[in-house]
A = this chain, B = another copy of it.
């Protein structure tokens, strides 16, 4: 893992469909070693996948909400059931166990407020959920930025 690997990762985070040849040019390498490095990065799991990024506005999914959830208690089965429920909800595109006053932070993407309300009701219907608090994303300043790769790996 050297400077060139990091450079490749940086580029692929922005243009995931770069071919080996294009990538090679940009990192000033010939295609062969570039392909070898890329394969190594993929096989090792450092590159875990490639994804298309969609425009939410154009898809009428303009409403992003951050929902904080607190559970009643933290018995193992309640936790498991909650996480399974959340996993099946497509509107929830991210879910983290977090420190602080709440147990979970969910990132929710919906079309509009009625759809948001439906989701909230689904969450509140879960018996292990104590309470939830929502914060609407009014504007996105930045998102999906490339990861800051540590320079000394």
Copies of this protein, total: 2
Please state if A58 and B87 are interface contacts (CB–CB under 8 Å): no
8 A Cβ contacts from A71-116 to B: 83, 86-87, 90-100, 102, 104-105, 109-111
Chain B residue numbers with a CB within 8 Å of A60 are 150, 153
Q: By the criterion CB–CB under 8 Å, are A105 and B50 in contact? A: no
Question: In whole angstroms, what is the CA distance A64 to B95 when docked?
Answer: 12
A17 at the interface (CB under 8 A from B): yes
Contacting B at CB under 8 A, from A33-48, are: 44-48
Q: Give me the interface of A with B, judged by CB distance under 8 Å.
A: 9, 12-17, 44-56, 58-61, 64, 66, 83, 86-87, 90-100, 102, 104-105, 109-111, 133-150, 153
